[in-house]
Amino acid sequence: MDKTKRCGFIALLGPPNAGKSTLMNQMLGSKLSIISPKPQTTRSRVLGVAMEGNTQLVFLDLPGVFMPKRKMERVMVEAAWEGARSADLVMVMFDASKKVVMTSEARSILKWLTTEKKQAILVLNKVDAIPKERLLGLAQELTATNLFTDVLMISAKTADGVPDLLKLVAPKMPAGEWQYPEDQLTDMPERLWASELTREQVFLQLKEELPYAAAVETESWEERRDGSVAIGQIVYVQKETQRAIVLGKGGARIKEIGQKAREEMGRELERKVHLTLHIKVKENWSEDINFLKAQGLLGHLER
């Protein structure tokens, strides 16, 4: 074994909306995780591989930690804890620009760290939206818990502090062979990634409960001779009334969702994408374990 090599898993743990997925993408320099202003955008663990010198950093972007009510929510929160348990280091992330940072969700994470005794660092995010001086009290309070080896203030959005973060965590990883080929970005299947980009548009373009009632599945993926790819997807909703909303007036909404998602896919894949979307009503899909499994939502149980 090459003694200079290191490799470790780093879990991004925090309440919904802390900016975990934004940080993940910044660290990878790639649009892997989907992001929206709404909580609970990330539904399952997303694995992303980054290199820092001779160290392979395997990040686990996770759903946020909150009080789950429905089955899908329970599965999501369980994936968050499971990801954190499996990691060599936990990066706890809070939105420092919020009026109240130390919510019950935040406290549940500190409590977990107390019992788990895992190496952890604290990342206070969104410092572009709040003067750093206003965070000193909070940073002190959290340093005093002795749960964190380091406390950092960053902006995932502007990348302020992100390079330092990578440099900080790399030496904390265990010595060992890399787990993934150097050029591999993720273990996420391309079809699932493509579904996620469409789901991101559903989160960005639709209001209230609709994004939470929606799921996306890639039905077909056809490589064409001219180098383009034709992708067929189904957008699932739970009621007929929701179908009408996703469709929009004269089909305008679904068209806009498809157009934006297609552009994103094309940009990342660096080729032309043809995207066809169909809407299907599937009552209570979010309570259906087999459906959630097909959605990749139970992937963390199969590792």
**Nearer residue to ligand GDP within complex by CB, 36 or 242:** 36
Those residues with Cβ within 8 angstroms of residue 35's Cβ, 6 or more apart along the chain or in another chain:
21, 22, 25, 41, 200
Within 13 Å of residue 56, how many CA atoms lie on the same side as its CB? 19
- Asked if residue 129 binds ligand GDP (CB under 6 A), the reply is yes
Q: Rounded to the nearest whole angstrom, what is the least distance from the CB of residue 126 to ligand GDP in the complex?
A: 4
Those residues with Cβ within 8 angstroms of residue 229's Cβ, 6 or more apart along the chain or in another chain:
221, 222, 223, 269, 271, 272, 273, 274
Strands of 150-153's sheet, edge to edge? 46-52, 55-61, 6-13, 89-95, 120-125, 150-153
Q: Rounded to the nearest whole angstrom, what is the least distance from the CB of residue 144 to ligand GDP in the complex?
A: 25
- Asked if residue 83 binds ligand GDP (CB under 6 A), the reply is no
Among residues 6, 9, 10, 20, which is the contact residue for ligand GDP, using CB under 6 A?
A: 20
Decide which of ligand GDP, Mg ion, none touches 129; Cβ closer than 5 to 8 Å per partner kind.
ligand GDP
Judged by CB under 5 A, the chain residues 31 through 50 that form the site for Mg ion are 42
Residue reference for tokens 């340093």: 143
Decide which of Mg ion, ligand GDP, none touches 258; Cβ closer than 5 to 8 Å per partner kind.
none
Residues 266 and 274: beta-carbon distance below 8 Å: no
Residues 235 and 192: beta-carbon distance below 8 Å: no
Within 10 A of 36 (CB to CB), how many other CB atoms are there? 18
**Nearer residue to ligand GDP within complex by CB, 36 or 195:** 36
Q: Which value, in Å, is the radius of gyration of the alpha carbons in the chain?
A: 20
Q: Going residue by residue from 11 to 30, which x/- string records binding to Mg ion, judged by CB under 5 A?
A: ---------xx---------
Distance between CA atoms of residues 297 and 290, nearest Å: 10
Using CA atoms in the order 97, 143, 156, 215, what is the torsion angle rounded to 10 degrees?
-80
**Nearer residue to ligand GDP within complex by CB, 124 or 142:** 124
- Asked if residue 125 binds Mg ion (CB under 5 A), the reply is no
Residue reference for tokens 């900080």: 168
Q: Rounded to the nearest whole angstrom, what is the least distance from the CB of residue 125 to ligand GDP in the complex?
A: 5
Decide which of Mg ion, ligand GDP, none touches 18; Cβ closer than 5 to 8 Å per partner kind.
ligand GDP
Decide which of Mg ion, ligand GDP, none touches 10; Cβ closer than 5 to 8 Å per partner kind.
none
**Nearer residue to ligand GDP within complex by CB, 229 or 296:** 296
Residues 23 and 11: beta-carbon distance below 8 Å: no
Q: Which residue is nearest to ligand GDP (CB)?
A: 19
Q: Rounded to the nearest whole angstrom, what is the least distance from the CB of residue 296 to ligand GDP in the complex?
A: 17
Query: Judged by CB under 6 A, which stretch of 2-10, 138-146, 155-163, 177-185 contacts ligand GDP?
Result: 155-163
Decide which of ligand GDP, Mg ion, none touches 218; Cβ closer than 5 to 8 Å per partner kind.
none
Q: Rounded to the nearest whole angstrom, what is the least distance from the CB of residue 32 to ligand GDP in the complex?
A: 12
Judged by CB under 6 A, the chain residues 158 through 217 that form the site for ligand GDP are none
Decide which of Mg ion, ligand GDP, none touches 156; Cβ closer than 5 to 8 Å per partner kind.
ligand GDP
Q: Which residues pair with 8 in a beta bridge?
A: 57
Closest CA to 30 of 197, 221, 223: 197
Residues 130 and 159: beta-carbon distance below 8 Å: no
Residues that bind ligand GDP (CB under 6 A): 14, 16-22, 35-37, 41-42, 64, 125-126, 128-129, 155-157
